[in-house]
Structure 1
Amino acid sequence: MAPPRLALSVLVVMVAAIALAEGLRGTGPKKCCFRFNESPVARERVVGYTKTSQRCSNPAILLNTVAGRQLCVRASAPWVKELITKLETAPGKSSTM
């Protein structure tokens, strides 16, 4: 009687451990934007940028400022596109993802 119960218990513990490990893996995007800064940001205040994951519901750009903050801006905004172009053509090109 004991061996089948022991085998079943071990199986349940293994399934629980696998389920926990899969849940902690973090399969979703690390950062998505839901509120956006609509006003233009001066080039001098921005040191770099990062595109949000394609799995985010809103395509966005995270601007990294000289103050160490990140601002969410709409990737489709004309001023954002212009800022990205300036960042990419600047000497000492900013890193992007």
Structure 2
Amino acid sequence: MAAPRLALSVVVLLLAVITLSEGMRGVGPSKCCFLFKETPMAKDKVVDYVKTSQRCSNPAILLKTIRGHRVCVRPSAPWVKELITYLDAKAVPGASSHL
């Protein structure tokens, strides 16, 4: 009688641990920005961009450079808006939107 109770207790405990660990895995966004590049970047140095998660405390755009670096910039900056317009115009028709 004790063996089935012990087995059931172990299974319940195991399920609780798995559930807890899986829930903690997706707690926050993968990348947020806290420092921003304020000076404009040359258009030919940037190949792509992505908007950070809405769960980040600061709205930001991550620019990907031709060397593969990621640079945080403010989406409200006029030069960033112009750069995004430029990159969107270069995008292949039918490609997914960054925003």
TM-score between both structures, scaled by the size of structure 2? 0.81
Contact 1:29–1:55 (8 Å) recurs in 2 = yes
Structure 1 runs not aligned, ≥5 long: none
Deviations along 1:32-66, whole A, 9 cap, x unmatched? 11110111101011111111111111111111111
1:61-76 pair list within 5 angstroms: 61-76=61-76
Identity of aligned residues (%): 50
Q: Over aligned residues, Cα RMSD in angstroms? A: 2.2
One-letter amino acid of the structure 1 residue matched with residue 24 of structure 2: G
Letter in 2 for 1:78: P
| Bigger mean CA offset, 28-37 vs 5-14 | 5-14
Shift of residue 13, structure 1, vs aligned partner? 2.1
Q: 2:17 aligns to what SS in structure 1? A: helix
**Unaligned 5+ runs, structure 2:** none
Give the counterpart letter for 2:89 in structure 1.
T
Structure 2 counterparts to residues 52-91 of structure 1, below 5 A: 52-90=52-90
Residue equivalent to 1:12: 13
